[in-house]
Structure 1
Amino acid sequence: MTKQSVASHRKDEHYFLAEKFYQEDSNSDLDDVRFIRSALPESSVAAVDMAPGIADWQFPLLINAMTGGSTTTGKINAQLARIARNLHLPLASGSASVALKEPAVRDSFTVIRQENPDGFVLANIGADKTPADAQFVIKLLGANMLQVHLNAVQEMVMPEGAREFDWRDNLAAIIAASPVPVIVKEVGFGMRHDDFAAIEATGAAAIDVGGRGGTNFAKIENARRHDADYSDLFGFGQTTAESLIEAQGCTLPLIATGGIRTPLQAVAALRLGASAVGLAGLVLHWLTKTDEATTQARLQAFMKEMRDIVALLGCTNLAQLRQVPIVTDHLAHYAAQRGLTVPNAGL
């Protein structure tokens, strides 16, 4: 048996620790959004168009970046690819950086396209990699789009992580050389208002706010190290809802990822301005605790309830949803302190 590399072993550690630390209740702040609904919605589920306006996606949901890089995670990617194929959802691979130097693990990523030959696939790579590296992983996965992830907090807590984060110029170079559109994403610590303008200036096609509330890579990486304790960073950064507030004025499509556990939370994220939502930890949890068929059924039910909620709110599309009256508590105070507003609150 071939000895597993350090990088490949880290992929397995990430998977097992993500499940170990999974929490049913998130702290994404999306529960702070309270819809003010009408008793006369004058709507029907059949009339609801959920198209998010991103590429040719038909539904505002992405099975977001999770894993790849080992035998175990390759099997998970195969399952995710089949689920994405059957539900006609876009699917992002986990970071494929490990595949750049380790040919032996590439099949844990290429299995996505093998199982989902006609689907919408996103490759994933770090902002510190070269344009040539990005082009390699795009070709490796036959990707329709590229995710470039920003993970400074994770790297800082990671025992073997990077300590230099001058990424902006390199990010622009990756995007300029990419043959496919690029989404820039955080990995769970959120974004600040000026980040959106800076990312937009690089030529990105969309932004994934990757807010705090879901998979916590500070906690995962802290569990992997024994020479220091970074547990004070477990609550570091902006939540998913706060990050959407911070995105005020951004003209790019936004994807809300980070701690979305229920269809109502997903619809709340869409109401705050997201064009689509990303699910990762929840889907991985279902897959780990049940099986592929059950996970697919639960995800299909999740999608159905999202559509049902939009109809209950009297809307036929996402533009109308963003006009539904809401009230908030924490988010209103947060926005006021930041000199921002909750979009269309209190209408």
Structure 2
Amino acid sequence: MTSERAAAPGASVRAARKDDHVRLALQQREGRSARNEFDDLEFLHHALDGVDAERVDLSVRVGEWSWATPFYVNGMTGGTDLTERINRQLAIAARETGMPMACGSMSIAIDDPSTARSFAVIREENPSGFVMANLGAGRSADDALRAVELLQANALQLHVNPVQETAMPEGSRDFSGWLVGLERIVEASPVPVVAKEVGFGLSRRTLEKLRGIGVRVADVSGTGGTDFLGIENSRATAADDFSMLTGFGQSALACLLDAPADGPALLASGGVRHPYDVVKALAAGARGVGVAGAFLQTVMDGDAEALVTLVRGWLTQTRALFALLGAENAEQLASTDLILRGRLGEFCRLRGIDPAEFSRRSERRPA
């Protein structure tokens, strides 16, 4: 989840930045407010609509893929000894629970093969699981092929991070060729591409552009989770400070509710704290939900076994929430009644979306 510059900084500088990102992301979790925009979405409670939790199917369809769990390990890190340990623990937990997993940006491994093992451990520990490689806008189609080959990946995450690049002291501010570059990678990639933001959201216009270049799956990755603007500002001098942009972007829920009906299949991430947020994202239109911070914190405080325990608990709770809401599968969540309040409701009204329509979705449910 780091910068993808054509003229990259030295390997030691980039490795230090990788470890800095982990440290700063964990610090953010300690100081973050408990509230985010997921709290602006509520379910209208129907006390007699519940179903048997034993009949709930938590598997999801994402494009051409079928995933056993509705949430997955989103891209985080790689490139150093510390991040190799993190990736190993995450991969073991993904293997034991059937979760898909994405790695962090692999640009450092493409440019410095001595760091490749910090990513290769993911496939080593999870030989038959669903694994996503990860590169950023600005890399070449050849780089994408190498990243996919290194992980024997099932998919390729391509992240677009213009806000992060703007705030990054060594970042690139030339975004003019990104769309064309992404299109070339989509055309050349031997596996499907998942376009994603890094915590500032994908707007309707952006999703339409991604659809136009052949992207079939996108992670809207909205505000509320790891704040890469804040991370880069903490590394900057006063002259390079962009804290004026604090709060910039859209939440995952806002992006989901404003997404075009004929756009890419949507994944959601950014500020997912617990299973209730997972269920809310699915009800708002996500096909799967990416989790980073909560899983990173667990492996840093413990190990893969601790994360396996957490994930199994999340699965039990998610199944119970489906049953409470009267949904035997993720598709049925799409007809649950939603109440949109606060900033989320205001966003919808300003974008010409009637929040009241979401409160009556069950009335349109097929008999």
Tell me the TM-score normalized by structure 1.
0.96
1:259-298 matched pairs, under 5 angstroms: 259-298=271-310
Counterpart secondary structure, 2:61: coil
Cα gap change, 1:146 to 1:343, in 2 (>3 Å): farther
Are 2:111 and 1:98 equivalent residues in the alignment? no
In the alignment, is residue 336 of structure 1 matched against residue 344 of structure 2? no
Match of 2:51 in 1: 43
Runs (5+) with no aligned partner, structure 2: 1-9, 361-367
Work out whether residues 212 and 239 of structure 1, in 8 Å CA contact, stay in contact via their aligned partners in 2. yes
Give the secondary-structure state (helix, strand or coil) at the position aligned to 1:183.
strand
- Conserved? CA contact 1:273–1:343, under 8 Å: no
1:188 aligns with 2:199: yes
1:26/1:260 contact within 8 Å kept = no
Determine the C-alpha separation between the residues in 1 that align with 2:308 and 2:353.
39
Q: What code does the residue aligned with 1:7 have?
A: R
Secondary structure of the structure 1 residue equivalent to 2:202: coil
Structure 1 residue 248: deviation in Å?
3.9
Residues 201 and 255, structure 2, Cα contact 8 Å, conserved in 1: yes
| TM-superposed deviation, 1:43 | 1.0
Q: Return closer, same or farther for 1:19/1:250 CA change in 2, 3 Å cut-off.
A: farther
Pick aligned residue for 1:53 from 61, 71, 89:
61
CA contact (8 A) 1:125 1:148 kept: yes
**1:296 partner letter:** V
Q: CA 1:343–1:87 in structure 2 vs 1: closer, same or farther (change >3 Å)?
A: farther
Cα pair 2:58 2:319 within 8 Å, conserved: yes
Task: Provide the rounded CA distance (Å) in 2 between the counterparts of 1:65 and 1:235.
Answer: 22
Does the aligned pair in 2 maintain the 1:27–1:214 contact within 8 Å? no
Is the contact between residue 26 and residue 261 of structure 1 (CA under 8 Å) also seen in structure 2? no
What is the SS of the residue equivalent to 1:124? strand
What amino acid is aligned across from residue 349 of structure 2 in structure 1?
A
Separation in structure 1 between the aligned mates of residue 50 and residue 317 of structure 2, nearest angstrom? 18
In the alignment, the residues of structure 1 paired with residue 155 and residue 111 of structure 2 have an alpha-carbon distance, to the nearest angstrom, of 22
Look up the equivalent residue of 2:199 and give its one-letter code: G
Identity %: 39
The aligned residue for residue 14 of structure 2 is 7
Task: State which of 177, 188, 206 in structure 2 corresponds to 1:177.
Answer: 188
Which of 162, 174, 198 does residue 164 from structure 1 map onto? 174
CA distance in 2, matches of 1:289, 1:5: 26
**Alpha-carbon contact 1:124-1:146 (below 8 Å) kept:** yes
Structure 1 residue 102 displacement after superposition: 0.5
Partner amino acid for 1:335? C
Q: Matched residues in 1 for 2:179 and 2:354: separation? A: 27
AA aligned to 1:261 is R
Q: Which amino acid is 1:257 matched to?
A: S
Q: Deviation at 1:212?
A: 0.4
Could you tell me which residue of structure 2 aligns to residue 122 of structure 1?
Answer: 132
Instruction: Give 1:234 shift.
Output: 2.3
8 Å Cα contact 1:210-1:258 kept in structure 2: yes
- Structure 1 segments unaligned to the other structure (5+ residues): none
Is the CA contact (8 Å cut-off) linking 2:11 and 2:112 kept in structure 1? no
For residue 363 of structure 2, what is the aligned residue in structure 1? Answer: none
Say whether residues 1:235 and 2:274 are aligned partners. Answer: no
Letter in 2 for 1:215: T
| CA separation of 1:145 and 1:28: change in aligned 2, threshold 3 A | farther
Aligned twin of 1:67: 77
What is the distance in 2 between the residues matched to 1:37 and 1:232? 40
Query: Does the 8 Å CA contact 2:89/2:303 hold for their aligned counterparts?
Result: no
Is the Cα–Cα contact under 8 Å of residues 245 and 342 in structure 1 kept in the other structure? no
Give, in whole Å, the separation in 2 of the partners of 1:42 and 1:292. 34
3-state DSSP of counterpart to 1:66: coil
Counterpart Cα distance in 1 of 2:174 and 2:159: 15
Q: Which amino acid aligns with 2:226?
A: T
Deviates more, 1:139-148 or 1:315-324: 315-324
Kindly state the Cα deviation for residue 101 of structure 1 after the two structures are TM-superposed: 1.3
Aligned AA for 1:129? R
Across the aligned residues of Structure 1 and Structure 2, the Cα RMSD in angstroms comes to 1.6
Cα contact 1:110–1:140 (8 A) shared by 2 = yes
Matches of 2:301 and 2:280, distance apart in 1: 27
Q: Which residue is 2:142 aligned to?
A: 132
Map 1:11-30; keep pairs closer than 5 Å: 11-23=18-30, 25=33, 28-30=36-38
Cα distance, 1:228 vs. partner? 2.4
Q: How many residues align?
A: 345
Matched residues in 2 for 1:45 and 1:176: separation? 42
TM-score, normalised via structure 2 length: 0.90
- Please state whether the residue corresponding to 1:5 is helix, strand or coil: helix
**Cα distance, 1:124 vs structure 2:** 0.2
Q: Distance in 2 between matches of 1:27 and 1:95?
A: 28
